[in-house]
Chains A and B, each alone.
Chain A
Amino acid sequence: MQRTGAQIILETLMREGVDVVFGYPGGAIMPTYDSLLDYPVHHVLVRHEENAAFAADGFARASGKVGVCMVTSGPGATNLVTGLAGAMMDSIPVVAITGQVASYLVGTDAFQETDVTGVTLPITKHNYLVTDVAELPMVMKEAFHIARSGRPGPVLVDVCKDVQSKTTEFDYDAIQLRLPGYRPHRQTYDEQIRRAAAYINTAQRPVILAGHGIILAAAHDELRALAERGQIPIATTLLGIGSISESHPLNLRMMGMHGEAYVNEAIQNADLLIAVGMRFDDRVTGNLATYAKHADVIHIDIDPAEISKNVIANLGIVGDAKQVMAGLLPLVEPRDRAAWLSQIEVWRADTMTRDILSTTACESAPHVPFVIDAIHRATRGAQALIVTDVGQHQMWEAQYYRHERPNQLLTSGGLGAMGYGIPAAIGAQIARREDEVWVIVGDGGFQMALPELATIMQEELPVKIAVMRNGYLGMVRQWQELIHSRRYSEVAIKTPDLLKLADAYGLAGMRATRADEVNDLITEARSVPGPVLMDFVVEEEANVYPMVAPGKALNDMYRRPGAERAATGR
């Protein structure tokens, strides 16, 4: 069949099972937008291209499919940069299609010409500039294959305007992929698995470090089975949350800078770390020189470049988390490891005495953990999905919401991009129409993504937006308080009246200023069939504890106040 470039782009989407695209039109992508009218592809018109990339990312995380965004050349394409960098950091499969000036104008500084493949080279898994329509079918097919296979990531295809209008022969099934240099590792070696099992069987104090790779590999069952068989406690990374239910007795929960102290204590005292699908981010290790000094390290990751990058592994296994753990399982001997688990319980008990959930007085402004806990209690029976923005509220969400399932928390981890939450929730709600999608967002991040309220209205998405309004760029304020002797520099932030704003955009608006209003407000918000904007006026200068100060050892933490102090108020 003869097809135009534009038709090839859209037919590839359909063949790849993509029926939704997040985008924004403009000159260099107009031929494709014209053809869009002829295909049953749902296009979501965002209000800023950055949010098209975030929404595609959210869609991908929520659906397990490839997320697609489409924008014009020059400013349209450069606006994608933050979203692509985030998808790269967190290994999210996204395909970005950008218009480019006509092929005969490339290199002339033509109107809205930007070297987009140059700009995005370090923040994409791979990218293409297509100047000849004959190459387009193959490139499109390769782009999807590369985005979702191996270690997933964003792939950008920059398509010249004339290429979109020219025609060529197109037969999707006949296209043979030729990627001689792209062989994501699949096979693992029995010998390595045997050696890993030997390490595990002789370990007295092992800890599994469960990362995002487990969720990407859908290896939850294998993880749980491995932990239960060997009675091995699990600590998760931020992005590994949900890889095992947070109510499972072997799940210690999140490790790292804002992990609970007993989790970090367990890691620091372990004699074996079994790291699966996690990349030892510096938020996870603290000071590397003092990290888990007594532990041997088994590192299982699909990407050979991650092994021994930050933490030197005694045994590196390159492979898919699901396959490797499945191979490991029969070789791991059942153990009870009662002494180790009860030692961890002692550390955990100390954390329990520092509980802060009960410290909010009814008539005063709630602190964020109180609100998160209330949202958790209200939604735990439901098919709920939480999307966060970046800042204090993000860490409190990780600490106080208990996720039972994988892909139930969407958050920007490696890039930590403020403004992610609301557009990602748009993508997530479109991927999972039946689910109850909540966004937890700060007053800073909310204002970065504010224009997307209009997209939510236009798309009629019932997203529940909970703004934690503390009047500060809270996370930065916390660092200024703790590390810069409370010299507050540009962290106070005003927010327009959210009820009026909700009214202007046409969503339901609600406000809670006292702790005793929180539960009712959440119940009311859940009863509204459409989107809701919730204004939670929260305690202004609360800090996220525990916290590992930069450069400090993982178990050298600022703690929550102890039992005596907690009893007398904060």
Chain B
Amino acid sequence: MAFVDRTTQRPRAPHVLVALVENKPGVLTRVASLFRRRGFNIESLTVGHTDTPELSRMTIVVDTSKTDASLVQANLFKLVNVVDVQNVTRQPAVMRDLALIKVRIDQQTRFEIVQLMDIYRAKIVDVCPESMIIEVTGPEAKIDSVVEMLKPYGIIEMVRTGLVAMVRGSGHFTGPTPDENGNGHEHEVGSGSNGYHFDDDSRLVRSLGM
């Protein structure tokens, strides 16, 4: 089943999901196992610490030409250790990827590359007579274009972290507050809404006011 955009009839663009997960052993395995067994197509997945020691944060880029992002979101939310999932694709968000690129240099090209990298505000983090390592951060498209620029010189090796994302503004994505979990009341646990409902296109969305 391929998913196409209703208006353009083109394959849908990738979606970016942000998930807060409990910092417990095996959580990454649970997420990876979910993607594998459901056949979800994922372009990248990053995971890292947050300001709360109990929580880690994942940024997941979903290839929506083959996979419906709302189904990925709903399935992620079902995992007991996943505290919250947000689709930030249509929200104003800062999205960044980081790359380290080791490129071949010689006497002539060295200066040329330094100048070029300056335009991209990329940093030279290591230099030796035959090569240098460039560090560049930015939206994925910027990094793609840096890579294109460097290819003719000879890329020796490269690593990219994959996308991380954060919604702009003073809003706060830290999952539910503790009292929302109804601590201590056994049958009340989870009695609050999980904050999801379906919009007019039957897409799962987070409710307003949450």
Residues of A near any B CB (own CB < 8 A): 117-118, 121-122, 125-126, 129, 141, 145-146, 149-150, 176-187, 189, 192, 303-305, 307-309, 312-318
Contact = CB atoms under 8 A, between A and B. Distances in A.
B79 to A, nearest CB: 7
B190 A183 contact: yes
B199 to A, nearest CB: 9
Contacts of B189: 145, 149, 177, 179, 182
A55 B203 CA distance: 39
B181 A117 contact: no
B202 interface: yes
A341 to B, nearest CB: 29
Which secondary structure dominates where chain B touches chain A? mixed
A180 B182 CA distance: 10
Which secondary structure dominates where chain A touches chain B? loop
A179 B77 CA distance: 13
- Listed residue (B29, B68, B78) with the most chain A CB atoms within 10 angstroms of its CB: B78
Nearest to B195: A183
Contact of A307 (B29, B186, B190, B198): B198
Contacts of B202: 307-308, 312-316
Interface in B57-94: 68, 70-71, 74-75, 77-84
B190 A179 contact: yes
A300 to B, nearest CB: 11
B204 A181 contact: no
Contacts of A303: 74, 78
Contacts of B30: 121
Interface of B: 21-22, 25-26, 29-30, 33, 37, 68, 70-71, 74-75, 77-84, 175-176, 178, 180-181, 183-184, 186, 189-194, 196-198, 202, 204
B181 A185 contact: no
A55 to B, nearest CB: 26
Nearest to A310: B1
A181 B81 contact: yes
A146 B197 contact: no
A183 B176 CA distance: 10
20 contacts: A121-B33, A122-B33, A129-B25, A141-B186, A178-B183, A179-B189, A180-B178, A181-B22, A181-B83, A181-B84, A183-B192, A185-B193, A303-B74, A305-B78, A307-B74, A309-B71, A313-B198, A314-B202, A316-B198, A316-B202
Given A179-B80, A179-B181, A305-B75, A184 B190 contact: yes
Contact of B26 (A117, A182, A184): A117
Given A176-B183, A181-B81, 12 more contacts: A177-B183, A177-B189, A178-B181, A179-B190, A181-B175, A182-B189, A183-B181, A185-B196, A305-B71, A305-B78, A307-B204, A308-B70
A141 B183 CA distance: 13
A187 B193 contact: yes
B184 A146 contact: no
B190 A150 contact: yes
A129 B24 CA distance: 11
Contacts of A192: 197-198
A176 B184 contact: yes
A318 B77 CA distance: 13
Contacts of A117: 26
3 smallest beta-carbon distances between A and B, as pairs: A187-B193, A305-B74, A183-B190
B22 A180 contact: yes
Contacts of B81: 181
B110 to A, nearest CB: 49
A304 B181 contact: no
Contacts of B176: 180, 183
Given A186-B191, A313-B202, A315-B198, A181 B71 contact: no
Contacts of A146: 80
Given A122-B33, A316-B202, A181 B79 contact: yes
A149 B193 contact: no
Contacts of A118: 29
- Listed residue (B22, B77, B190) with the most chain A CB atoms within 10 angstroms of its CB: B190
Contacts of B180: 183
A146 B178 CA distance: 18
Contact of B204 (A184, A304, A314): A304
Contact of A304 (B21, B74, B192): B74
Contact of A308 (B68, B80, B192): B68
Nearest to A299: B202
B194 A126 contact: no
Contact of A184 (B21, B33, B37, B194): B194
A129 B26 CA distance: 10
A209 B138 CA distance: 50
Given A117-B26, A177-B183, A186 B193 contact: yes
A187 B189 CA distance: 13
Contact of A122 (B37, B83, B194): B37
A237 to B, nearest CB: 21
Given A192-B197, A304-B204, A177 B186 contact: yes
Nearest to B177: A180
A149 B197 contact: no
Contacts of B204: 304, 307
B182 to A, nearest CB: 9
A189 B191 contact: no
